[in-house]
A = this chain, B = another copy of it.
Amino acid sequence: MSGIVYGIGVGPGDPELVTVKAARLIGAADLVAYPAPEEGDSFARTIAASHMRAGQREFAIRMKIGEGQYPKDEVYDAAADKLAAAAAAGDSVVVLCEGDPFFYGSFMYLYARLAGRIPVKVVPGVSSLMACAIASGGALAAKNDVLTVIPAPLPEAELKRRLSEAEAAAIIKVGRHLPKVRKVLDELGLSAHARYVEHATLDSQKVIRLDELDGAAAPYFSMLLVHRRGEAWS
């Protein structure tokens, strides 16, 4: 008797952007696990809640969540042990992942600990990359465009080098790095080509040109999209 662990992408935020497959597996699971902050609600669970059964067993994987925070190995070790034990006892286990599990997601750390030990399957989800492009009103990339995904925590010189070579770029994990990113885009003359998107697909969604955005910080779930040609919003 052996169960299975599914790593499931639940999409960018709108509960209706969960896939039919994810909704089915979530509803059928014996145990629903999800990352959660040390105190308070899990965003992944909030997205998936309407697809869960009443009284379903749950496992909140509590960890320090936030900018530049990578949870300690012990957190993943302990969570993997608990998930593996449930699967070994025959449970169908789902681990909810915001967006897609393998696109800058934390599920890969659990996957590395579970694969080969118990059956693990990964179910793709709608990524915030695609959701933010749609929110911005312009195509992310077309035809033979090269698209570069650039994490904002990179050093300023590296950001500048990458952005100077990019035709179309998505700058992720903006957060407190907003002033640094803004400076680089200003220097490259790209600020007028950049759209800022926050909380895509949620009621709190915000889309604004970078040069109209005030403030020195952005939430963790925000992104800047840059089209060198500026065609997307012409």
Contacts and interface: CB of A to CB of B under 8 A. Distances in A.
Contacts of A154: 144, 146
A130 B134 contact: no
B18 A102 contact: no
Report how many copies the assembly holds. Answer: 2
B139 A143 contact: no
Interface stretch (A9-17, A36-44, A73-81): A9-17
Interface of A: 9, 11-12, 14-21, 23-24, 70, 100-105, 108, 111, 115, 122-127, 129-131, 133-134, 137-151, 153-154, 162, 165, 201
Contacts of A101: 134
A20 B21 contact: no
A86 to B, nearest CB: 22
Nearest to A107: B139
A148 B154 CA distance: 15
By Cβ-Cβ distance, the 8 closest A-B pairs, closest first, are A16-B21, A147-B149, A108-B139, A100-B130, A124-B130, A144-B151, A102-B139, A122-B134
Nearest to A158: B146
Given A70-B143, A124-B130, A146-B149, 16 more contacts: A9-B130, A17-B21, A17-B123, A18-B19, A20-B20, A102-B130, A102-B133, A102-B139, A103-B129, A103-B140, A122-B134, A124-B131, A124-B134, A126-B126, A141-B149, A148-B149
A205 to B, nearest CB: 13
